[in-house]
Structure 1
Amino acid sequence: MGEKVKPLYRRILLKLSGEALMGSLSSGIDNRVLEYFTQEIKQVHQLKVEIAIVVGGGNIFRGRTAGDRGISRVTADNMGMLATVINALALQDFLENADIPTRVQTAIEMRAVAEPYIRRRAIRHLEKGRVVILAAGTGNPYFTTDTAAALRAAEIKADAVIKATKVDGVYESDPVTNRNAVKYETISYLNLLNLGLKVMDSTAVSLCMDNNIPIIVFNFNQTGNLLRVVLGDKIGTFISQEGG
């Protein structure tokens, strides 16, 4: 028999963007993307890795840009947090259809559709092998879902924040507009902040720095990449205290 594969991380916080759920659509949820996400997550779940997920809501509503439409920032952020719950429920449905036990917990209570976020209960679900989707951000306006991901990762003592993107790491400039942009294999939290690289907002990065939680930024659109990250393959960009 072959050697048993051992993951590098025991418990992860996976950050998914709401925009990624659109796929080729102009807005809303592309079921083909949900199916793809489910299969990628299933590979990792089968290794007994404990998985918590924070998903954004930008495919439905972006609070930060709603001010241009005459909606106050606080109201808009509340609407954005509700959008993340819609995405979380959709992802839960697909995961459970693939025989992956899943719980949705929300920072804003809505007991008819999901559990309220309770740290100890979330940890207990993870220990029992359930994927926990943490929705509604932090429950507060002015905080992004990136910050929610960093906060929840600290609370549940995740080994890493794994940020899924459409590019293969952090670059010195936008690789879409600059073909000569240099990719960072590793970078420190402080250098990331000082260079103003917008892979995550500064509050999220500072939270990870203060709690010494590494961040791995990788391309989720390439099949098998999430599994490779969890196994410790050097893909994407590794952000830590000691990074370059």
Structure 2
Amino acid sequence: MSQDTQPAYRRILLKLSGEALLGEHHYGVDPAVLSQVAEEVCELSRRGVEVGIVIGGGNIFRGAGLAEGGVDRVTGDHMGMLATVINALALQDAIERAGRFCRVMSAIRINQVCEDYIRRRAVRHLEKGRVVVFAAGTGNPFFTTDSAASLRAIEINADLMIKATKVDGVYDADPFTQTDARRFDRLTYDDALERRLGVMDTTALVMCRDNELPIRVMNMFAKGDLQRLVMGESVGTLVEGSRQ
């Protein structure tokens, strides 16, 4: 791919699950996966794409899971928010080691390790070519990091939200257990909502629909796919408005 080719998107929001950082481990962060993600993100930044990232914390704690075990849900969600800060700091370090400036902005105050989230400051960081990692979800319990990703993408006026997963798009069944599962090239928001396809949670999807923010679901670990997607190729599954 020529370095002179212009990206199809000026600004994107990349949603990463915490589980994506596990790699071959059962808990925590796999340094090899962290390095791979950082290199992919840095390559986009070098091409002039403004990159925001929302990362989950499921590799460390999941608030909903803790609640099922008897922990107070609000307390569990706060623990989950702190887990996303840990992941965000790890990703910041990997991105800066790979050669790009990166800022972590938290929805909860934790000034000694990262900045508070302020929308105008986040946009300014992006305009200056810095990668911005948004941590601590929305700062509120009961909201998933999918919802946080939709919210931040809309707030920063992203052209596209990319949900990075371990599969190459959205299927009508689990492709790991059902060999006849069918992958969709394109869906409408309403299709995804009505068929409960698990693209994102309902709140996140409705926010994207109401603000006309397109979503791409793709495999983060298929080498080169993220670059091809941002350069305009059809990769993964596109979720957008009504069919023409």
The TM tier, using the shorter chain, reads over 0.9
Determine the structure 2 residue equivalent to 1:196: 196
RMSD: 1.1
Residue pair 2:42, 2:99 contacting (<8 A) in 1 also: no
Alpha-carbon deviation of 1:198?
0.9
Whole-Å Cα distance in 1 between the matches of residues 124 and 216 of structure 2?
A: 25
3-state secondary structure, aligned to 1:142: coil
Whole-Å Cα distance in 2 between the matches of residues 107 and 113 of structure 1?
A: 13
Determine the structure 2 residue equivalent to 1:184: 184
The one-letter amino acid of 1:11's match is R
Task: Single out whichever of 64-73 and 116-125 deviates more from structure 2.
Answer: 64-73
Q: 1:75-224 alignment to 2 at 5 Å?
A: 75-224=75-224
Residue pair 1:193, 1:202 contacting (<8 A) in 2 also: yes
Give TM-score scaled by structure 2 length.
Answer: 0.97
3-state secondary structure, aligned to 1:37: helix
Determine the structure 2 residue equivalent to 1:34: 34
Residue pair 1:189, 1:243 contacting (<8 A) in 2 also: no
Whole-Å Cα distance in 2 between the matches of residues 49 and 166 of structure 1?
A: 23
Residue pair 1:186, 1:243 contacting (<8 A) in 2 also: no
The one-letter amino acid of 1:109's match is R
Task: Confirm whether residue 67 of structure 1 aligns to residue 77 of structure 2.
Answer: no
3-state secondary structure, aligned to 2:42: helix
The one-letter amino acid of 2:66's match is A
3-state secondary structure, aligned to 1:96: helix
Q: Residues 190 and 52 of structure 1: is their aligned pair in 2 closer, same or farther, counting only changes over 3 Å?
A: same
3-state secondary structure, aligned to 1:190: helix
Residue pair 2:3, 2:47 contacting (<8 A) in 1 also: no
Alpha-carbon deviation of 1:179?
0.7
Alpha-carbon deviation of 1:3?
7.9
Whole-Å Cα distance in 1 between the matches of residues 149 and 13 of structure 2?
A: 7
Alpha-carbon deviation of 1:69?
2.3
Give TM-score scaled by structure 1 length.
Answer: 0.97
Whole-Å Cα distance in 2 between the matches of residues 85 and 50 of structure 1?
A: 21
In structure 1, runs of 5+ residues without a counterpart are: none
Whole-Å Cα distance in 2 between the matches of residues 23 and 55 of structure 1?
A: 15
Shift >3 Å, 4+ stretches? none
